[in-house]
Structures are given as structure tokens and as C-alpha cells.
Structure 1
Amino acid sequence: MTHLYARRVFLRNLAVAASAASLGLPLFGCGGPRMSALAGGAKLKVVFFVVPDGLAVDSWTGNSFGDGQGLWHPTANSGDSTDFELRDVSAELTAYRAKSLYLRGLMLGEGNSGHNGWNVVLRDREAKLPSIDVILGLDPAMTGSNLTFRSLFSGPHAGIDGSPWFVSWSGANAIRTPERDPVLLHEAVFGLASRDVRAARSRGKHIFEPALADIRELRQRLSGAQKQKLDTQLDSIEQVMADMEGELPAPGECSVGTAPETHPIASAEFRTRVQAAHERVVANALACGVTRVATIQIARSAEQLNILDVTSAKNPHDCAHRYAGSQEWSGTRKWYARRAKLFMDELARYDDPDVSGDKLIDHTLVVVTSEMADGAPEHQIDMPLLLMGGASGLLRNGAGNGRCFNIAPQADRDHHTGNPVIGKRFVDMPRIWNTVAAACGIEPPYPGGVVTGIFNNVG
């Protein structure tokens, strides 16, 4: 990201604010009370952690469309329970069980779209709207300190082989490309644009001051009606800035970690180190308040880069298909789950940027899922979906032992096969994204409404 681009972003947003103010409209669609509510206390952060080729929701001997009794979904005695047993893959996240809510009964798309699930995993079933990470990042309720990074998109190994199967979309046909090199990701977040922001803070200046200087420079070149029009806009911008000064809290100190080491990102030999570097940069960006929304896409669907920690004989896609053996099948799925656990470790290391004495993990919601449920039959029924983290106390994850919640009773979709555990009725996955949006104070963007029983402030 360049300094010039960052300033253009500031200018665009200031123009929106100024136009709204000059027309007597509330800033960014928010009234004073909402701005005041956002100004103090905790600020929720949301991270979507998307792994490829499913998390083995079916058993090794499951039928042609799966049995729902595999390595991911916990076993519980009831549909809503805090007394449950984690399976081989989900057990990798045992350390964060107390902060976890495991959901069952979800269906993605039509339930049998194979690897095409990456098109819709984070958005509406018709693939017409932006993905949930983009929608959250664009709303002022979830804006970080740098408008250039409304929604950070990290893709450690997504598309390194030329297959751009990315899960984040800014529109119907507008796919986003993630940053795949952690060195470049670090420079983008903590490089020129972020240095300008931090320098402005250290001088006690307003974050929009550089953009305002550009507008004043432009004013000197205008005359007549154009100059008068710009003067009106300038007055509005300065009033907005004055109003915001009393509503926005002073940001805390930002401790920028050491830049990642340079490694070949398409090399299996360095895969684990590159992945870990991405996780550190994303956590650091959240801890600095630069952004409050991020997506980490570990790899594309049907990925081919070997996980040498597990096997060098077969790629993870083949392992998901059970071509290599049961140890490789479970081992690759465990590796993905372990990466989510290690990302949680990163969140637990950093202080929260907004609440003194709290850790970043206390005010972050991490959503773990995939573009399919199981990689062997390649289906999308009974999808793996885990919500975890402190989430500012909003997540209904039990009272210290975690929670497993079957939401199939709220189903709105039928599937011709289903599985023996859930049956043939499922909840459409975009309803979860509606529910996350509502928890963030944002109007649900997709058809179908919300799911109740997940967040304290929804339903």
C-alpha cells in the first residue's frame, strides 16, 4: 500500500462525511448516540479462519454422502450441551474449549457442489452479494484506525499454483486477491500508510489531517463557484472533525512486531513458517487497532502443497480423499485445526488496543470453517463451524466448559440425503453470517434472517 493510495482513501471517506454533514445527515449513517456508543469500552474484532477440503466430519468408513460421525463434530448427549467430547481433529483446540461454541446442522449452497463451495462459503447462496468479511469491514461499526485496511485478507498458500479460488468477494463477480507473502503483508500494514497514522497520533494531530491538507491545497487552484462549493465542504469536514474529537477515544500505543523472515512462499519446506508469520501479522494488525476484521484463507480448495509435518508422499487434497491412509487423512485435518489453535495463541499474547488490562483474545471472535464438510464425498452438509474467543462477552459458549449446539431445529433447507445424525433438514449457512453481523450491530445482509441462541445480543 502506498502513501498516495492511503491518502486517496482518506479523501474519499472525508468527502462522504462532508456531503452527509452538509445535507444534515448523520455521519456515515450513524447518529450521535451510536457514535458515542462506539467511542468507549470494548470493540469487537472478527476473524474468519477458512481451511480447505473439509475437516473430516464423516468417519473413515462413512457412506457415499457421509455419516456425520467423523473427526470434527463433538459427541454430546443432547442438542445443546456443555457436556461433550471433542473428536480427533477438534481436540487440537482443547486449550480454547472454554471459549468455544461448536455448531451443527448447517448446509452450504446446495450441499453437493464439491470444490465450488469456495464461491459462496462466506456469502449468499446465489453468489450475488459481497462476502461477510467485506460487509463487516465497510461498516463504521467495525472500522479500525486505518480506513485502507477495512478488511484484511491473508492467504498464506491460496492460489500459489495459479488457481484463484479465493473466498472473499467485494461484489457478485469481484473476487479479492489475498496477500500471500507475510513480508509484504507486514509492510502493507505497518509500512508507509501506518507510519503516517502513527506519526500523526504522536504529534497529537487528527488522523484525517493529511487528507485535509490536500483539500486545502486544491482550494488554492479554484475560483468562483467551484471554490465556494469546496469552501462549504471544508466547513463541513472541519465540523465533523471537531465533533469526532469529543467522541473518539485516544488510541493506545501500537507495538509493531519484527518483520517476518523472507521464505519462498510456494515451498512445502517453509510452509509452516510462512503460515505462522501470517498469523502473527494479522494478530499484530488487530492488536494495533489498524483493522477489526480479517480473513485468513490457509489454502485454496483442492490444494496441492504438501504438509511435510504430516507426509511428503501425498498432497493435502489427496489426503482429504483418503488416498494415502487414515493417519495422513486425520493428520492433515489436525494440522489445519492446530493452525487455528496457534492463531488463538497469538491473540492471547497481545494486549487489547481498547480495553486496558484485557488481552486481544478477550474481544475477538474467531470463526473456523471450510468450503466443504468432508473432502472424500465432497459434500457441504453438516458443515464444520466453530465460533471461539472472548468476543467481548457476546458469544454464548457455556459457563467455562464450552458448548456444542445443534441448530437443525431452526432449519430452513432440505437436503435429499442428509446424514444419520442430523437428518435431512439444515440451516442455510448465510444465516450464520447474518447472525454475526447482527452481533456486531450491523443489519443482516443476506436472505433468511438470523439464528437464535448464539450471541447474547441477538434473538
Structure 2
Amino acid sequence: MDILKSRRRFLTGLAAVGVFGPLTQFGLARIALAGQSQQAKLKVVFFVVPDGLAVDSESAYSSDGRGLWHPSANGLDTSDFQLNEVSQELAAYKDQSLYLRGTILGPGNEGHNGWTWALRDSQKKMASIDVLLGEHIPGTDPAQRSVFAGPHAGIDGTPWYVSWSGQQSGGGIRTPVQDPEVLLQNLFGTVSREVREKQVRNSHVFDPVLADINEMRGRLSGVQKQKLDTQLDAVEQTLKDMEETLPPIGECAPLELESVPFKSAAFRNQVQASHHQVVATALACGITRVATIQVGRSAESLNILDVSDVTNPHDCAHRYAGLAVWKKSRQWYTQRVRLFMDELARHTDPDVTTDSLLKHTLVVFTSEMADGAPEHTKDMPLVLMGGASGLLKSGDGAGRYFNITAQGDRKQEGNPVIGNTMVDMQRIWATIAKAAGTSVPYAGNVDPVSGIFTNV
């Protein structure tokens, strides 16, 4: 953390001495992108909501494929499809969406344990796809390779989180940042006036950074010193890059958030929106190119006041209070991702400043469960959205529905709509990884699914 603070002081120091003119700290975060040609760079956001999106019917506790999520389509691969009662909430982005049908997560019947598989391999041993992508396509801040935002995720002390560092990175579940103000600080930092004045008096803007790091190194030894040296290599490379750059292109406006109780149901919508703003701003500033937004957690208990002030979301998913709040709660979650898409559309892309951020972002929307009543993970809700720098095959501007069961690798009991084979979700992650120019270190079948991206 001290190293990151030193780096932020360094950035502010550059501004203070006028090296790059009157730039904001947010603009400085994009310096590493300056002077380059406007070459599109893919950004990826995983948006995960809890307890499924109602893929089952209103009357049957079985995956009969006639629920409220999956579109109805006139073909297995077609742009002639109609959104359902829940997916209809994304109608504004239908023309840049690919609705996938026929995936399975984990064993298919693990219920709320789906969060342990959601973005990972089928053996749940390795890093989740967001972490793997972040290692391969970093932004300007190496400490923010994969941002993990958690509006209301685990605020009750139940750490059911969907992002994992995996064995490659030492193992372990990642904890999302729940407070959007803390997330903002972590990404952009704050520097006092006293520190800025002190930096101006220094003969060289590098001095405060190097002094802090060397002082810390003198107090460490062994493994801790090794870790610091590793971080120091990254900082030195960043400094080298900055020395060779020009002022940043485009605009990276500062962001201010209103301070509200981030665990309160009364401020649920506002806290969610603040997370959207911080993540979108980080992407627009080039700080990171990969993020995960986990809304709540599986079996969450914090009421959604827009849905019900007496029935929590978990009970709504089980239809304990009737079908109306079941549908309304699933619609509320889906509305959140639509609002996030709106936020991306408002920002300018940091790499191609004539385009919106959304044009070069792939948003992956799913859940850790298919349906919260029978608690299964078969025929998962999954839609890929956004311009994705032209890589996503979303029907040439008309939107697309794609039943991928013909490429299935998992045998399942017959589904009356889609048949008896499904695609393991780890193959979807393998496909996204390949589209981004990397691969997944997962055991078992990692054959990419064809027909999703133009380059796979």
C-alpha cells in the first residue's frame, strides 16, 4: 500500500511542477496511453447477480426452458428473437448483444455453492477468468489489473465471492471492495496539499518516491523484501514509461461521490450507481481494462426496497411471497446491468477517443445460479454485450440468439427445449480468453466455442 501511495504522490508531483501542464490526477493516470496511435484495446467487465434470473417456468420446479429469461427465437442461431420478461430490461442494448443458450455451471445441481464455480474452472482450483485476463491485458496501473467491486456483496459477513486468485497467484478467494468511496480512493488515491507543497520543493520529482521505497526496503528482509523488489520493478518500469510519454489524449474527468451508508437498503440504488461510476471511470482513464461487479451475494438478505420492504431477495427468488416479487426482483438485478451499460456509453474510450467506452468493452452478464427456486445451474443465463472492439459476433447490429448445445460437452437429462447436451462454462471463459489473446490454465475440456467472436 505504501508503494501505491508513493506512486500516487509521484503522479501528483508531476502535475505540481508543471511537467505536463495543468492536468488532473485522473488525467495523469492515463499518461502511459499518450502519444500512441488510436488503437482499439478490449476492456472486459463481468457483471454477476445472485440467485439466478428465472430460467424456469412459473409453475414447475424444473428446467423446462419456459421461464422469464431466455429469449424465444426462430432458430438456433438467429437475429430473429424476442426478449423475455426479465431479459426485456436489456432491450436498449439488444442490437449489440449475444444471448447464449445451453451452458452448465459446475455439476449442475450445487445450488448456492455456484459462487465457488461462477467465473472459474470446473474443478474450482484455478484463478477466475477476470484475474487471468487482468494479468494479460493490464491498464496503466499494475496494481489494478482486475478491479473487484462488490456493491452489497457480503455486507452481512458471508463471504460468498465469485472472484478467485487461484493456485497460480497463491490461491484464495478475493474480497470485493464494498464501499464505493474506498474503491474510488484505491483506484485514484488522495494527496494532501501539504504533500504537494513538499514535492514542489524537492529538486527532483522522483525523490519522494525513491526515498519512501528505499526506507521501506531497509526495514524488510527475506520474502517480504523479495515481494517489495518485485513491486519495485513494476514501479521502475512505470516511471520509465512515463518519462517517454506525451500529455494524455481525451478527457478523464475527476469523480466525486456523495457519502452514504453503503450497507443500508435505503441507499441501495445510490451505492450501486456509485460503483458503476467508479468502475466506468477507471476503465475510461485506462487505469484498468478488466473489472468484476458482484451485486450482493447468493442467498442475500438485504431487501431491495424497489421490490419489497418485507421480503428479502433470496425469498423472492424462491417465490415464497408469490410470483410478482419473483419477477420484479429478477428484473431489478437486470436493470442494474442496463444502468451500467448506460454509464459506459457516457464515457469516452481512452484509446480511441472518437468512440464511446462501450464500443470497446465486452460486458459479460450472468449469475452463480440459473434459477433460485430449484437452485440449479443448468441452462445458465448468459449474455455478452457491448461493442467489444468489433470482436463480438452479435448479429451485425441486429442482436443475436445462439443455441450452442451442438457444441456441448456435458451430458444432462433431457431439456424439453434445448436437448440433452450443454457446454461447460469453463469453455466460455476459455473462449473469451482466446479472444483477448491469451488462454486459461484449466484442466479438462477448454476447447473454445466457435461462432462467438470474430477472431476465435
Aligned to 1:74: 71
| 2:368 equivalent among 366, 371, 383 | 371
CA deviation digits over 1:215-273, x for unaligned, max 9? 889999xxxxxxxxxxxxx9999899879977x88643552343211111221111111
Cα displacement (A) at 1:439: 0.7
TM-score between the two structures when normalised by the length of structure 2: 0.82
The 5-angstrom pairing of residues 7-406 of structure 1 reads 41-62=39-60, 64-139=61-136, 142-172=137-167, 173-192=171-190, 251-406=248-403
Cα displacement (A) at 1:66: 1.9
For 2:349, what is the secondary structure of its paired residue?
Answer: coil
Is the alpha carbon distance of 1:443 and 1:311 closer, same or farther for their aligned partners in structure 2, counting shifts above 3 Å? Answer: same
CA deviation digits over 1:43-102, x for unaligned, max 9? 11000000000000111012x332111111100011101000000000000000111000
CA deviation digits over 1:349-387, x for unaligned, max 9? 000011021000000000000000000000000000110
Cα displacement (A) at 1:314: 0.6
Aligned to 2:423: 427
Counterpart code for 1:143? P
Aligned to 1:436: 432
Cα displacement (A) at 1:188: 1.2
Determine if contact 1:435/1:444 at 8 Å carries over to the other structure: no
CA deviation digits over 1:7-50, x for unaligned, max 9? 599xxxxxxxxxxxxxxxxxxxxxxxxx9xx9750111000000
Cα displacement (A) at 1:313: 2.0
In structure 1, stretches of 5+ residues that fail to align are: 10-34, 196-206, 221-233
In structure 2, stretches of 5+ residues that fail to align are: 9-32, 194-204, 219-231
Is the alpha carbon distance of 1:249 and 1:104 closer, same or farther for their aligned partners in structure 2, counting shifts above 3 Å? Answer: farther
RMSD (CA atoms):
3.2
Counterpart code for 1:163? T
CA–CA distance in structure 2, aligned partners of residues 329 and 353 of structure 1: 40
Counterpart code for 1:42? A
Determine if contact 2:112/2:368 at 8 Å carries over to the other structure: yes
Determine if contact 1:251/1:354 at 8 Å carries over to the other structure: no
Determine if contact 2:148/2:176 at 8 Å carries over to the other structure: yes
Counterpart code for 1:156? P
Is the alpha carbon distance of 1:235 and 1:300 closer, same or farther for their aligned partners in structure 2, counting shifts above 3 Å? Answer: closer
Aligned to 1:17: none
Determine if contact 2:365/2:384 at 8 Å carries over to the other structure: yes
Cα displacement (A) at 1:118: 0.1
Determine if contact 1:381/1:418 at 8 Å carries over to the other structure: no
Percent of counterpart pairs with the same letter?
59
Cα displacement (A) at 1:326: 1.2
Q: Name the count of aligned residue pairs.
A: 406
Determine if contact 2:392/2:452 at 8 Å carries over to the other structure: yes
CA deviation digits over 1:198-223, x for unaligned, max 9? xxxxxxxxx99986777889999xxx
Determine if contact 1:190/1:256 at 8 Å carries over to the other structure: no
Worse-matched range after superposition: 71-80 or 210-219 = 210-219
Determine if contact 1:107/1:383 at 8 Å carries over to the other structure: yes
Determine if contact 2:109/2:377 at 8 Å carries over to the other structure: yes
Determine if contact 2:132/2:440 at 8 Å carries over to the other structure: no
For 1:368, what is the secondary structure of its paired residue?
Answer: strand
Counterpart code for 1:151? S
Is the alpha carbon distance of 1:264 and 1:330 closer, same or farther for their aligned partners in structure 2, counting shifts above 3 Å? Answer: same
CA–CA distance in structure 2, aligned partners of residues 77 and 236 of structure 1: 52
Displaced runs of 4 or more, over 4 A = 6-9, 207-220, 234-246
CA–CA distance in structure 2, aligned partners of residues 296 and 282 of structure 1: 8
Counterpart code for 2:44? V
Counterpart code for 1:419? N
Determine if contact 2:105/2:114 at 8 Å carries over to the other structure: yes
Is the alpha carbon distance of 1:238 and 1:289 closer, same or farther for their aligned partners in structure 2, counting shifts above 3 Å? Answer: closer
